[in-house]
């Protein structure tokens, strides 16, 4: 099945050898966010503004928080588990996990 992401089309294959975890379902949810325009509106409506030269991109900050919540993380420290993932940030069009 081909899904649409913020970085382009993605081929998702469904395997029948075991269960699926929450991370496996995220590409489908990202496809939904893009098709409905929800992530774009989420970024546009967020009043987050940085003034420092070393500011982070709003997309990276909001995407990191959203991926963390969707992965079931309940503490800020759990975001560190996402830093090793290079696929999910790319699907959201992020530069990196912050």
The 10s digit of each residue's pLDDT in 25-68 is: 888 899 999 999 999 999 999 998 888 877 788 999 999 999 99
Q: In the chain, what percentage of residues exceed pLDDT 90?
A: 31
Does the pTM surpass 0.85? The reply is no
Where do the structural domains in the chain lie, given as residue ranges?
2-91
Sign of CA dihedral 31, 27, 88, 64: positive
Structure tokens at 96: 């990196």
Helix or strand or coil: residue 67? helix
Q: Is the pLDDT of residue 19 over 60?
A: no
What is the reported pLDDT for 42? 93
């Amino acid at each position: 099945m081909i899904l649409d992401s913020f970085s382009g089309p993605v081929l998702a294959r469904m395997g029948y050898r075991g269960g699926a975890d929450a991370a496996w379902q995220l590409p489908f949810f990202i496809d939904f966010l893009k098709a409905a325009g929800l992530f774009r509106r989420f970024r546009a409506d967020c009043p987050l503004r940085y003034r420092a030269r070393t500011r982070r991109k709003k997309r990276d900050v909001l995407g990191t928080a959203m991926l963390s919540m969707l992965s079931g993380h309940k503490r800020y420290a759990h975001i560190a588990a996402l830093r090793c993932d290079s696929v999910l940030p790319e699907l959201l069009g992020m530069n990196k996990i912050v």
